[in-house]
Amino acid sequence: MSSEQGRVAVITGAANGIGRGLAEYAAGLGMRLLLSDVDEAQLQALCAELQGRGVEAIACVADVGDPVQVEHLRDVAVQQFGGVDLLFNNAGVMQTGHCWEISHAQWQRMLRVNLDGVINGIRSFVPLLLAQGRPAHVINTASLAGLLSSPLMAPYNVTKQAVVALSETLHYELSQLQAQVSVSVLCPGPVASAIMASNQVAGAGAQFSELLDASIRQGMSPLELAELVFAAIAEKRFWIFPHKFFKPALQRRLQSILEERNPVFQFVEADEPGASHAAG
């Protein structure tokens, strides 16, 4: 029996890609699942598939950008499962283009889903997790873009770097409280998914978008990623870096900051899946 058997996981953006991989892996561990997404058809299909395998899985359509819908998601978790052990703030979308060409509405969509989504998850669920008085874990999905900025991805860089900052702050606050609630920030490189379907290409972003899509589609499998994520949760590891190729680029960035040198963008070449188009 796995140590996660019978524990409850709430996953946002669960219908596709990384969220779906996390759901399938958690189901394999015997967890009870509250799966959430705005893609109702895919969400219901996944839930039905898991239920057919005997998994206790419930679907709840919720837009993470709406605090009321995220509070409702929390209430469903309490009503149906009596509490929550793992919260995955995972839903996210993409936007490419020069930062000045991206419209106000496109910027707002990115801030709302990628950043407000995580803020709403934390505000709705962390008080519950603290009140439960037992170990619980929050996993926020950022990206390598949370550590390294690439051209033509400004709203993605901005929101993911904010998710890293938010996660670190949450970690410090929970540590100060000596809480049983811990947090991880997941910073993957390319993982096979159709996230680029959410991209509303703006201006110069078109060609770059095709390259990024190809790189992501060849990326790590979501199930392989999920295995690494659950290993990190078991160790209560804050930083989850499923790919390692970016570390020299991060070192160069930190060095340029410390030495007050202007940043220079370089593509990273590596032999990990999809790594050659990732930014450094």
Backbone angles phi, psi at 136, to 5 degrees: -150, 160
Of the residues 28, 39, 44, 214, which one makes contact with ligand NAD according to CB under 6 A: 39
Question: What distance in Å separates the CA atoms of residue 120 and residue 15, rounded to the nearest whole number?
Answer: 19
19 sits near ligand NAD (criterion: CB under 6 A): yes
Q: How many residues bind ligand NAD (CB under 6 A)?
A: 29
198 near ligand NAD (CB under 6 A): yes
* Strand ordering across the sheet containing 57-61: 57-61, 32-37, 8-12, 86-89, 136-141, 181-186, 239-240
The nearest distance, CB 172 to ligand NAD, in angstroms, is 22
Judged by CB, which is closer to ligand NAD: 247, or 261? 247
Please tell me whether residue 188 binds ligand NAD under the rule CB under 6 A.
Answer: yes
Type of residue numbered 232: A
Q: With CA atoms as reference, report the closest residue to 191 among 5, 20, 66.
A: 20
| Cβ–Cβ under 8 Å, residues 32 and 8 | yes
Q: Does 194 interact with ligand NAD (rule: CB under 6 A)?
A: yes
Which residue out of 25, 88, 156, 230 is catalytically annotated?
A: 156
Residues of span 218-247 touching ligand NAD by CB under 6 A: 219
Q: Which residues is 89 bridged to in the sheet?
A: 140
Q: How far is the CB of 145 from ligand NAD (least distance, A)?
A: 7
E-assigned strands of 124-247?
Answer: 136-141, 181-186, 239-240
- Whichever of 118 and 174 has its CB closer to ligand NAD, that residue is 118
Strand partners, 97: 153
Identify whether the C-beta of residue 207 lies closer than 8 Å to the C-beta of residue 185.
no
When asked if residue 38 is in the footprint of ligand NAD (CB under 6 A), the reply is yes
Residues 41-70 that bind ligand NAD (CB under 6 A): 63-65
Q: How far apart (Å, rounded) are the C-alpha atoms in residues 67 and 40?
A: 19
Measured from the CB atom, the residue of 179 and 270 that comes closer to ligand NAD is 270
Kindly tell me which of 85 and 213 has the beta carbon lying closer to ligand NAD: 213
Name the DSSP class of 256: H
Nearer to ligand NAD, 10 or 18 (CB): 18
Q: Which is nearer to ligand NAD, 23 or 126 (CB)?
A: 23
For residue 17, state whether it binds ligand NAD (rule: CB under 6 A).
yes
Q: What are phi and psi of 20, to 5 degrees?
A: -65, -40
How far apart are the C-alpha atoms of 1 and 214, rounded to whole Å? Answer: 39
Residue 13 is a binding residue for ligand NAD (CB under 6 A)? yes
How many Å apart are CA 232 and CA 236, to the nearest integer?
6
Choice from 121, 190, 273, 280 touching ligand NAD (CB under 6 A): 190
> What is the nearest approach in angstroms of ligand NAD to the Cβ of residue 23?
11
156 in catalytic set: yes
- Among residues 14, 115, 106, 121, which one has the least CA distance to residue 57? 14
Which residues of this chain interact with ligand NAD, rule CB under 6 A? 12-13, 15-19, 37-39, 63-65, 90-93, 113, 141, 143, 188, 190-191, 193-195, 198, 216, 219
User: Which residues are tagged catalytic?
Assistant: 156
